[in-house]
Structure 1
Amino acid sequence: MSTINLDHLFKPKSVAVIGASNRSHSVGQVIMRNLLAGGFDGPIMPVNPHSQSIGGVLAYPDVENLPVVPELAVICVPPKAVVPTMECLAAKGCMAAIVLTAGLGAEQYDDSRSVKQAMLEIAASHKMRLLGPNCLGLMVPGIGLNASFSHQSIGIGKIAFVSQSGALCTAVLDWAAARGIGFSHFISLGECDDVDFGDVIDYLGSDPNTRAIMLYIESIQERRGFISAARAASRNKPILCIKSGRFAEGAAAAASHTGALAGADDVFDAAIKRAGVLRVYTVSEMFSAAETLSRMRPFRGDKLGIITNGGGIGVLAVDALIERQGHLAKLEDSTIEALNGVLPSTWSHANPIDIIGDAPGERYAKSIDAVLKDPNIDSLLVMHAPTAITDPVEVAQGVIDAIKDSRKNILTNWVGEATVAKARNLFYAAGIPTYRTPENAVAAFQHMVNYRKLQEVLMETPPSVPQDFTPETDKARQIIHTAIHSGRDMLTEPEAKAVLECYGINTVKTVAAESVDVAIETANAIGYPVALKILSDDISHKSDVGGVVLNIDSDEELRAAGNKMLRTVKQKFPNARVRGFTVQEMIKRAGARELIVGMTTDPIFGPVILFGHGGVEVEVVRDRAMALPPLNMKLARELVEGTRIYNLLRGYRDVPPVNLEQLYVTLVRLSQLVVHLGEVLELDMNPLLIDQTGVIALDARIKVTPKVVSDDQRLAIHPYPRHLKQELILEDGTKYLLRPIKPEDEPKHYEFMSKLTPEDIHFRFFGSVRELPHSEMARQTQLDYDRDMAFLAIVPEGPEAGDIHGIVQVVIDPNNEHAEYAIMVRSDIKGRGLGRILMEKMIEFCRQKGTETFIGQVLPDNRRMLTLCEKLGFSRKYLADEEVFEVTLPLQRDVA
């Protein structure tokens, strides 16, 4: 996750083409032709030892003889020449290269390395950035750069397109050229061996010329970098993606129901949703989304108005809208009255507004004028079906004239092909989004609505977990290690339930019994009725082999059930090692629902939590949703709401709702377990019984591994850094808890802000701020701990317990070069030393993280802050243009 030297790739001042050629249709010839035709302003230097000129441009025999250091090199030489070329470029000082050559992983360079490995080692040692290999190249039309072997050039636009597939790149280029759609960047990543999705998203996220980002993804290598970058960028601009390989068959060997249910594509969906990325599923949808992104303003609402000259196509649009959970606007009475004055009496008198098949451009224009004044309509879809009476071009021009001053978003759909082609071209030229079908138009509209909603959900303040709770992590880990040391990778049912109990998850009392006789004694101790289950490390799904008997009421029933169970297991699973039985209290709750809650480990995104409809039919019903840990109460609620069974859990008719709050708490606690216990590979609670009184796990299984990796390697999203909590006592005896901020802190953060003086507000925000909007407060409290940090000083006890007295926060750039800080201490407690402690805490955090420089901006009249910085060793420089001091503290002075 780094943008180091990406300016050399995307904003080069000079380009060298290694392997440039005059041979017609060769890659080297096409690259040179495209570079020369693109209008690039800097030197273009072809390298070819056998030609004096390429495309009329002076050629150089080798890299050493280039007159200037190329900021960007395009490498299109055979595999065996790639490493020598890289060595020469590195020696010359080149900092970025596009490697078009394919097959580098299969080509051996020496006895221990492939060509690809040797190439990457050279690049890494010189901090040279590589795009590719095996890619189409890149285009940045804003600077006239076409460093690709594409067949098609592109115009300047506001969309960035990033793809792993070169073939899809060429298809998108054809489509965009036909519609006059341009791009800010057009990037073919190829094999992503250096520059990957996370790097490019980070770069484009801060690029002022890019309004939206579109991704075509085949696979993700750096999952945490991707999610972190996408989450940061998606708060400022839409990111849409399409992913291939949706139906990988990877669950056959799963030891749990969760593992079998958690398909790779479902996990990818959960990951991108957490990152704020909107997914489309077909190339057609992607094209429609591109049309929308390139021509529309940001959406402010989700209600759609429809004007059409044909009832049938209007109904198709409404069907598509409702199918996508969209909202059709209801017309105001005043709008209906206005339309009555300009339309035939036979118009539909409702939305969709059917203005009759013979409608000319003038009727469309008058209808549009009336409808755009309706406050209920956020966006308008204008549709037209060709007839022998009207001219589609004349109607299109009438629409264009009518909407030129509109502040609302307008979409158009001229159905048909040959007879409406000219009309569509008018819309393209006018910059108005137009679509071939009603379904495409509605899909494009709903994509933007969903993106806005997704951002609202991501910024929603989560409620606090209702109960204070400290898990018994050490006890749980000891249970797991005991099983691992005995050579097992599956916990017994009693062990699994004991681990869950360590995290406050209710389970039914379960006792292991080595024989039928011991099981009978245990049942009498627990009290009938009981459930009897087979106990075997080799049997995961006990019901499948007759290994579960419920509602046993007596010793005789239990003996008969136990003996039959042993016979059945021996017959169906003769190689299973049977350790005995488990006996558990029989739980009977009339009207309770059976759920499944669990986790599995995805090979790309790591641990993933699953929730859904449980019971023995779980894999048949397949009603489930997934989310990446860590979870808070809000994310737990969203997970539950993503299933069909949620509607039953809410209650209906005379069936009361279940205790959803306790379900959310259980999911949060499971999330804590997953984050804390890296030994857990898979976990099932199935069934997890829920009713009005709460939840209880009737069955549980946990698969473990001794190979525990760090959280950075294991988790796709940085968990809450609880290890950074610190208790402190000031010199005057005041106690504080210093800890990283949480999303749940937003209400207390508002309260803290309300107790600052206007002067302190001015010092922090360089102006007068009455109250921060929720969106800004969400940015300050909902952090990505991979790149941002904020420490709070919280009162731990007494009448002000939980109150915030101080906060220091930093934003760290993706290259970890600079951490820009901001600090506030409550106005009425200044002068006690809390500010200095907060600063020292953050400085040490950044130093340990490897950040190079700690910086900030301080107003000249903020003497207290300037004095503190001087005592802490900061240097300072006055920036006259901004009328502030920039204070700087190097953090890695002792690093060689």
Structure 2
Amino acid sequence: MSIRHLDQLLNPRSVVVVGASDREGSVGATVWRNLRSSGFTGAVRAMNPRLSVLDGEPVAARCDDLPETPDLAVLCIPPAAVPDMIDALGRAGTRAAIVMTAGLDRTHKQAMLDAARPHLLRVLGPNCLGLLSPRIGLNASFAHTNALPGDIAFVSQSGALVTAVLDWARSRRIGFSHMVSLGEHADVDFGDLLDHLASDARTRSILLYIESVESPRKFMSAARAAARNKPVIVVKAGRAGRGVAAAASHTGAMAGADPVFDAAIRRAGMLRVDTLDELFMAAETLARFRGNRDDRLTVLTNGGGAGVMAADAAAARGVQLPALGESLKAQLDAALPPTWSHANPIDIIGDAPVRRYTDTLSALLATPDAGAVLFLHAPTAIVRSDDIARACVPLVRRSPGRVMACWLGDAAVADARRIFEDAGVADYATPEQAVHAFSMLSTYRANQRLLLEVPTASESATPDTAKVRALVQSALAQGREMLDESEAKSVLQAYGIPVVPTRAVSADAQAACEAASELGYPVVLKIRSADISHKSDVGGVALNLRDADELSHAAAAMLARIRALRPAARIDGFSVQAMVRRPMAQELIVGASVDPVFGPVILFGQGGTAVEVLADSAVTLPPLNRVLARELVARTRVSRLLAGYRDHPPARMEALHDALIAVSALMADIPELAELDINPLWADHDGVMALDARMRISTSRPAGASNFAIAPYPAHLSQTLAWHGHELCVRPIRPEDGPQHRAFLEQMSPDDLHMRFFSSSRTLAQSETARLTQIDYAREMAFVATQLRPDASEEIVGVVHAVSDPDDIEAEFAIAVRSDLHGQGLGHLLMQRMTAHLRARGTQRMTADVLRINGAMRELMQTLGFTADPHGADAQTLRYSLRLDAAGQLQSTGESATEESP
């Protein structure tokens, strides 16, 4: 991914319109007019060999004729002319271009990109509407109107939607920092813009209209980084689109494109909405109300009807309206007339004067258990709405993020609405909108919690991966894509998932009886056929066979039935399994498939033969840990049954979560795995057991950790080595290292803390601890050095952390070593590990800011070949850098290297 030269694209100092025209109604004429009339203060030039003057301005025939090199070029020229013009602009020094031209075929597009690449020239489009940056008066588009300046960025794959949003937003006085039409996004895409906008000080929230995502890991990495900084809200077109047209498993059929996109949005910490109204409603809520952490809502209203509407909306959205505590009731009894509602919603009666509003609002804001407050007001002739607003604003300002407002009506409440908005209060047109917005906030907070989960490898027992790989390779060598049931269960067993004992035999009743004698009656008989995915659909399952006679009869009947129903199906034999009785067990489905965009996905839900009809399932992206597995299960209705009811005790959820984690690990470890169904997976108070399993494999290797949309924990980078007579483990940091990391910091001296963090505080906020331990391995790395205590527990003794820019050109690092271990070479060892890692991934340069008073660290930097900027980063710090090519190799100095201060 890259943010190179996006400043020239979004904040240019000069613009040239290539193909500027005097032909009324043409794109070139419209763009020229928009640029000149939008208030842009930079130079605006025209290029067209047909013209010498346009609207009184000189027109250049070619790039060499321009009086200066433009930052940005807007191309409105025929498709065949685009590549040569991009090359000419690049040679002239232009570093950003908007290609509005439609109709570029694959050859033209590739030639355009090839022309841009040597100059690092960024291309927006082709076939796009252009972009607007209202804060600098830039309208480099052929939109019909201009945008108001504001702090919302809107990025859309649809140019038509940009113009619609422009109209919609102007009527509501909503402003933008940037509006960008991506078009065919041959170069600049969602990932690039998310990275740029995440650090744009003028952008407070980011809105996206997405039709497709072509680079999923790039998109997810950029989205997760942006969502840590500011709200990112998404409208995704195609919710009703087709899923996988044909699949060999229930999972493949159920995990269609839209549920997978939902899962990606959830894991990235973003919020998905369905409509443009919801898009801006969510932006308003997250911009003004995001600091609220309440899960409950108390409604204050002067009209019973409005309160009932809010309560109905809360019930529909699952928003809790808490009961009023006795203390709060007593305060309200003293302030309100006897006829007040005495419940939530709090109806203070339609004749309420200003004092009644302020007394009620004061009582609610002084009561934390009341949660957030929805302030509902319908205008009356008794008291002016703006007087109420002015009286309540001081209370609202003292409790920021506690109040959301709904001033019902239009002109009569316009001033009151403005007063509240100026005080930073989120405002909504109706009670239903307000409650919906509150529920969106709950969803957003839940997604933000998932954003902090970066799973490690499987938390269950170490799998027998070698056994599974051998089994898979054997099947592929035989030309098979489907594993039989016995093989599939062997795979599950190798990954720690309990399975019912099963034997694979030939299609012979005697062989089935011999297997049943080994297992013990009663047994289950199933057909084995690579051509029959769902055995029960053709009578290929017989249950509770109590002796050899019943088994023999069932085998003969099953073969006859299948030959009649599916005469072309190959019969590979029978599976015989023990008839397990667990009357309290719930039938579940756990599966995995490969989405064409986001790669491997995992499905969980209610299982059985009616699994598609029940439609109770949830999808997530791997990798998983127990927190993410728990969240996946919680999104299904069957989770309530698993919690226990009547005489059914709760299921052992840890076993279910471990099974999901095992499937995640299986998808990471076995690239050939294309589809997996465990249906049914029984779950009860004793644990889980797989009764049936179906697996499809492929030589195309669609799974594997490299195809995950979210980079999993890189366990292969762990090393164990000898250090001063004992073992030292150097490995990537894990989310679970949070407590150890805090303990590590608490053992550091104040001076060392000051050298590392430029602060002597030993206390690290939970959010900061999470940020240091829950990292995105696609763009940053932290190696910890750990050793075992006498009680065999692990402790961190050193850490080096590096964060790369989105272009992976430069990585800024920081290092810390436990204070009592200075001078023993641990810092040098960690630096060697990090440098080797960054060099292997292609990072060009390492940098660090070092306090000038940190003599030990400066000496280490010099020893390792770093050079210092003689002018320094500022008066207190020096910036050191190291090239990571052959000329910048670290020199080995052994364990006697001078140790740095953290």
TM (norm. structure 1) is 0.94
1:620 aligns with 2:631: no
Task: Please report how far the alpha carbon of residue 17 of structure 1 lies from its aligned counterpart in structure 2 after TM superposition.
Answer: 0.8
1:185 aligns with 2:178: yes
**Mapping of 1:216-295 within 5 angstroms?**
216-295=209-288
Give the aligned residue type for 2:836.
E
Match of 1:73 in 2: 73
1:580 aligns with 2:596: no
2:467 to 475, 479, 492: 475
Q: 1:607 to 1:338 in 2, by over 3 A?
A: same
Q: 2-side partners of 1:399 and 1:35: how far apart? A: 44
1:74-133 Cα deviation digits (max 9, x unpaired): 11223233233223212222111111122223xxxxxxx532222122223322111112
- Conserved in 1, the CA contact under 8 Å of 2:667 and 2:703? no
Task: Please report how far the alpha carbon of residue 595 of structure 1 lies from its aligned counterpart in structure 2 after TM superposition.
Answer: 1.0
Match of 1:38 in 2: 38
Match of 1:434 in 2: 427
Give the aligned residue type for 1:847.
R
Match of 2:202 in 1: 209
Q: 2-side partners of 1:197 and 1:63: how far apart? A: 30
2:408 to 411, 415, 432: 415
Q: 2-side partners of 1:504 and 1:175: how far apart? A: 55
Q: 1-side partners of 2:323 and 2:550: how far apart? A: 65
- Conserved in 2, the CA contact under 8 Å of 1:35 and 1:145? yes
Greater mean alpha carbon deviation, residues 24-33 or residues 429-438: 429-438
1:364-386 Cα deviation digits (max 9, x unpaired): 45544554444344543222335
Greater mean alpha carbon deviation, residues 666-675 or residues 366-375: 366-375
1:516-564 Cα deviation digits (max 9, x unpaired): 2211111112211111100100001000000001111111111110111
Q: 2-side partners of 1:750 and 1:463: how far apart? A: 19
**Mapping of 1:113-152 within 5 angstroms?**
114-152=107-145
Task: Please report how far the alpha carbon of residue 203 of structure 1 lies from its aligned counterpart in structure 2 after TM superposition.
Answer: 0.6
Task: Please report how far the alpha carbon of residue 428 of structure 1 lies from its aligned counterpart in structure 2 after TM superposition.
Answer: 6.1
Task: Please report how far the alpha carbon of residue 287 of structure 1 lies from its aligned counterpart in structure 2 after TM superposition.
Answer: 2.4
1:750 aligns with 2:728: no
Task: Please report how far the alpha carbon of residue 163 of structure 1 lies from its aligned counterpart in structure 2 after TM superposition.
Answer: 1.2
Gaps of 5+ in 2: 890-902
Task: Please report how far the alpha carbon of residue 152 of structure 1 lies from its aligned counterpart in structure 2 after TM superposition.
Answer: 2.3
**Mapping of 1:504-515 within 5 angstroms?**
504-514=496-506, 515=508
SS in 2 for 1:803: strand
Task: Please report how far the alpha carbon of residue 46 of structure 1 lies from its aligned counterpart in structure 2 after TM superposition.
Answer: 1.4
SS in 2 for 1:845: helix
Greater mean alpha carbon deviation, residues 479-488 or residues 142-151: 142-151
Task: Please report how far the alpha carbon of residue 309 of structure 1 lies from its aligned counterpart in structure 2 after TM superposition.
Answer: 2.1
Task: Please report how far the alpha carbon of residue 71 of structure 1 lies from its aligned counterpart in structure 2 after TM superposition.
Answer: 0.9
Task: Please report how far the alpha carbon of residue 204 of structure 1 lies from its aligned counterpart in structure 2 after TM superposition.
Answer: 0.7
SS in 2 for 1:235: helix
Q: 2-side partners of 1:404 and 1:881: how far apart? A: 38
2:306 to 310, 313, 319: 313
Task: Please report how far the alpha carbon of residue 231 of structure 1 lies from its aligned counterpart in structure 2 after TM superposition.
Answer: 0.8
SS in 2 for 1:114: helix
**Mapping of 1:330-409 within 5 angstroms?**
330-331=323-324, 336-340=329-333, 342-359=335-352, 363-365=356-358, 367-386=360-379, 403=396, 407-409=400-402
Task: Please report how far the alpha carbon of residue 339 of structure 1 lies from its aligned counterpart in structure 2 after TM superposition.
Answer: 4.4
Q: 1:410 to 1:55 in 2, by over 3 A?
A: farther
**RMSD across aligned C-alpha pairs, in angstroms?**
2.5
1:831-888 Cα deviation digits (max 9, x unpaired): 3222211110000000111101111122233333222222211112352734122221
Match of 2:796 in 1: 804
Match of 2:899 in 1: none
Q: 2-side partners of 1:99 and 1:222: how far apart? A: 21
Match of 2:900 in 1: none
1:477-533 Cα deviation digits (max 9, x unpaired): 110111111111101111111111221111122111112221111111221111110
Match of 2:484 in 1: 492
SS in 1 for 2:562: helix
Q: 2-side partners of 1:793 and 1:463: how far apart? A: 17
- Conserved in 1, the CA contact under 8 Å of 2:515 and 2:576? yes
Q: 1:793 to 1:64 in 2, by over 3 A?
A: same
Match of 1:94 in 2: 94
- Conserved in 2, the CA contact under 8 Å of 1:493 and 1:582? yes
Match of 1:110 in 2: none
- Conserved in 1, the CA contact under 8 Å of 2:298 and 2:371? yes
Greater mean alpha carbon deviation, residues 847-856 or residues 790-799: 790-799
1:208-245 Cα deviation digits (max 9, x unpaired): 11111111111111111111111111112111111110
Q: 1-side partners of 2:103 and 2:385: how far apart? A: 52
- Conserved in 2, the CA contact under 8 Å of 1:332 and 1:374? no
Give the aligned residue type for 1:548.
V
Q: 1:380 to 1:517 in 2, by over 3 A?
A: same
Q: 1-side partners of 2:36 and 2:353: how far apart? A: 48
SS in 1 for 2:21: coil
Give the aligned residue type for 1:305.
T
Match of 1:109 in 2: none
SS in 2 for 1:213: strand
2:767 to 775, 800, 822: 775
2:846 to 854, 867, 871: 854
1:766 aligns with 2:751: no
Q: 2-side partners of 1:29 and 1:550: how far apart? A: 76
**Mapping of 1:521-540 within 5 angstroms?**
521-540=514-533
- Conserved in 1, the CA contact under 8 Å of 2:458 and 2:662? no
1:817 to 809, 817, 825: 809
Q: 1:376 to 1:22 in 2, by over 3 A?
A: farther
**Mapping of 1:561-710 within 5 angstroms?**
561-708=554-701
Task: Please report how far the alpha carbon of residue 172 of structure 1 lies from its aligned counterpart in structure 2 after TM superposition.
Answer: 1.8
Q: 2-side partners of 1:772 and 1:681: how far apart? A: 43
Q: 2-side partners of 1:778 and 1:481: how far apart? A: 40
Q: 1:59 to 1:342 in 2, by over 3 A?
A: farther
- Conserved in 2, the CA contact under 8 Å of 1:104 and 1:116? yes
Q: 1-side partners of 2:313 and 2:735: how far apart? A: 36
Q: 1:8 to 1:599 in 2, by over 3 A?
A: same
Q: 1:794 to 1:432 in 2, by over 3 A?
A: closer
Match of 2:146 in 1: 153
1:785 aligns with 2:777: yes
SS in 2 for 1:696: strand
SS in 1 for 2:97: strand
- Conserved in 2, the CA contact under 8 Å of 1:180 and 1:428? no
Match of 2:51 in 1: 51
1:167-217 Cα deviation digits (max 9, x unpaired): 222222222212222111111112221111111111111111111111111
1:314-341 Cα deviation digits (max 9, x unpaired): 1211222233232335556565455445
Q: How many aligned residue pairs are there?
A: 887
Q: 1:451 to 1:700 in 2, by over 3 A?
A: same
SS in 2 for 1:130: strand
Give the aligned residue type for 1:472.
D
Give the aligned residue type for 1:577.
R
2:821 to 825, 829, 840: 829
Percent of matched pairs sharing the same residue: 50
Task: Please report how far the alpha carbon of residue 455 of structure 1 lies from its aligned counterpart in structure 2 after TM superposition.
Answer: 2.1
Match of 1:108 in 2: none
Q: 2-side partners of 1:292 and 1:55: how far apart? A: 45
SS in 2 for 1:59: strand
Gaps of 5+ in 1: 106-112
Match of 2:898 in 1: none
Task: Please report how far the alpha carbon of residue 599 of structure 1 lies from its aligned counterpart in structure 2 after TM superposition.
Answer: 0.2
Match of 2:26 in 1: 26
Give the aligned residue type for 1:135.
C
- Conserved in 1, the CA contact under 8 Å of 2:530 and 2:570? yes
Q: 2-side partners of 1:827 and 1:392: how far apart? A: 63
Q: 1-side partners of 2:878 and 2:784: how far apart? A: 25
Q: 2-side partners of 1:713 and 1:29: how far apart? A: 47
Q: 1:573 to 1:171 in 2, by over 3 A?
A: same
- Conserved in 2, the CA contact under 8 Å of 1:679 and 1:705? yes
